[in-house]
Structure 1
Amino acid sequence: MQDPNEDTEWNDILRKKGILPPKETPKEDEEGEQILQQQSVVKTYEDMTLEELEENEDEFSEEDEAAIEMYRQKRLAEWKVNQMKNIFGEVKEISGQDYVQEVNKAGQGIWVVLHLYKQGIPLCTLINQHLSVLAGKFPQTKFLKSISSTCIPNYPDRNLPTIFVYFEGDMKAQFIGPLVFGGMNLKIEELEWNLSKTGAVKTDLEENPRKQIEDKLMSSIRCSLPTKKDSESEDED
């Protein structure tokens, strides 16, 4: 007996005349089509606000509700991932006893910025202020501070301020001494840029802010230098 589901011209004619039933859709195809439909519905609801979802709640079919639940689970999973990443957001004070746990064992994928400072040093105070702002801007990075003598016994004051940058327990960069930071003229954008070069933060700055300052400085120096015409006038006098 010929298979009624076979793709032949004769079977097509019999189906048109109603002698054979419509061709059965394979179960796998049906499931695939349902998934595609559900995904399509999900995309539709992604474009809606929460207020719009609530307004149209009475009109939802079972398919709508299933799609919305799928959308909700997707958003919940994304939120959990973001929460896991944004777990810091402030500068934490540590001691030498905390060093291994907080720095070397910070965890997989974690960048750590540690500032060694001492009270009474103005540049250390300025950097702590800058780091407090940057910690809020980059909550995925772990910002720490520690009094130098408490963290590393006999650490020389001439090396302050000091910033160590770690990733997954390994030191990636170090900034040691006031000359590295440019003194009290250090802007928060400059510190952000320098940290971004180590990989510790993902800045939205497009170029080094220090370069802009240097360009302005050079421009002012050029403007203050006597021109050739001025020199000739002085010689004539």
Structure 2
Amino acid sequence: MQDPNADTEWNDILRKKGILPPKETPKDEEAEEEDVLQQQSVVKTYENMTLEELEENEDDFNEEDEHAIELYRRQRMAQWQATQVKNKFGELGEISGQDYVKEVTEAGKGIWVILHLYKQGIPICTLINQHLAVLATKFKDVKFLKAISTTCIPNYPDKNLPTIFVYLDGNIQAQFIGPLVFGGMKLTKDELEWKLAESGAVKTDLEENPRKQIQDQLMTSIRTCIPTRKDSDSDDD
């Protein structure tokens, strides 16, 4: 006799006609699916509890609870570890030349490093360090560093300061050299953030270049100050 659960074209026709009952689901698959649903249900029950609260109440748990809670504990630990990796840095660090290899070129795979070469007593260098310190707290997955220029590169000329190098996997991805690149002492934190975002180092939430807004405002001011042809003709009369 032919197996009514066999996957054959003839059996499919008989099932559609109602002659054969629907194909039975193997009990092992049903049990496995039900087990997964139960685990998810139990995990859902405890997902608003802290790990400490789970430990305090573990005497009241049965074997099923303990299995599901262990699964949940692993999920929470994985989430915590992912957060720790993402928020690994969060401050502007200071290095010297002897730290360069360890902190920059060997920073780690996939780690963006922003290095500011500066000197004390140069106002725009001080300004950029202030901006970078704030940006470091915003982009905690990026390694922000500063170093006195001549400790990293002997005899590095002051005329090239400030200098910012952007690294990924130990390789330079972008470089900004000299005060003119930064626009002088009028440089804002948002302008610097946009510049770093263009290099790929940070993922900014700014919608457009802040410098463009200033330029547009400047052009509007200039237009309002320039007399029109009609005004000029009236003055001549």
TM-score by length of 2: 0.81
After superposition, the Cα gap between the structure-2 partners of 1:27 and 1:158, relative to the gap in structure 1 and judged at 3 Å, is same
Task: Tell me how far 1:199 sits from its aligned partner.
Answer: 1.1
Stretches of structure 1 that go unaligned for 5 or more consecutive residues are 10-22
Aligned residue in 1 for 2:87: 86
Q: Give secondary structure in 2 for the equivalent of 1:116.
A: strand
Cα deviation, residue 70, structure 1:
2.3
CA, structure 1 residues 151+220, in 2 after alignment: closer, same or farther (shift >3 Å)? same
Q: Deviation per CA, 1:68-99: give whole Å up to 9, x if none.
A: 44223212211111102211111111111111
Q: Which residue of 1 aligns with 2:163?
A: 162
Match of 2:38 in 1: 37
Flag structure 2 segments of 5+ consecutive residues without an equivalent. 15-23
Residues 161, 6 of structure 1: alpha-carbon distance in 2 compared, 3 angstrom cutoff: closer
Per the TM alignment, residue 224 of structure 1 is displaced from its structure 2 partner at its CA by 0.7
- Deviation larger for 119-128 or 77-86: 77-86
Match of 1:15 in 2: none
State the SS of the aligned residue for 1:163: strand
AA paired with 2:165? F
Query: In the TM superposition, what is the alpha-carbon distance from 1:197 to its structure 2 partner?
Result: 1.0
Q: What is residue 106 of structure 1 aligned with on the other side?
A: 107
- The one-letter code of the counterpart of 2:29 is E
The secondary structure found in structure 2 opposite 1:113 is strand
Q: Quick one: distance in 2 between partners of 1:107 and 1:64?
A: 40
Instruction: Measure the CA separation in 2 of the matches of 1:190 and 1:67.
Output: 49
Matched, 1:218 2:224: no
State the distance in 1 between where 2:194 and 2:5 align. Answer: 68
**Inter-CA distance 135–235: structure 2 relative to 1 (3 Å threshold):** same
Q: Secondary structure at the match of 1:106?
A: coil
**Identical-pair percentage:** 66
Q: Give distance in 2, aligned partners of 1:49 and 1:217.
A: 55
Match of 2:127 in 1: 126
Please list the CA deviations of residues 166-187 of structure 1 after superposition, one character each: whole Å capped at 9, or x if unmatched: 0010100000000000000000
Q: In the alignment, what sits opposite 2:199?
A: 198
SS of 2:141 mapped into structure 1: coil
Provide the rounded CA distance (Å) in 1 between the counterparts of 2:176 and 2:223: 32
Number of positions where the alignment pairs a residue of Structure 1 with one of Structure 2: 217
Q: Return the alpha-carbon distance in structure 1 between the equivalents of residues 107 and 217 of structure 2.
A: 41
Q: For residues 107-164 of structure 1, what are the alpha-carbon distances to aligned partners after superposition, in whole Å with 9 as ceiling and x for unaligned?
A: 1110000000000000000000000001111111001100011110010000000000
TM-score (norm 1): 0.81
SS in 2 for 1:175: strand
RMSD, aligned CA: 2.8
Deviation at 1:24, TM superposition (A): 9.2
1:209 lines up with 2:210 in the alignment: yes
Separation of aligned partners in 2, 1:178 and 1:28: 68
State the AA in 1 paired with 2:131.
H
CA distance in structure 1 between the partners assigned to 2:201 and 2:5 by the alignment: 63
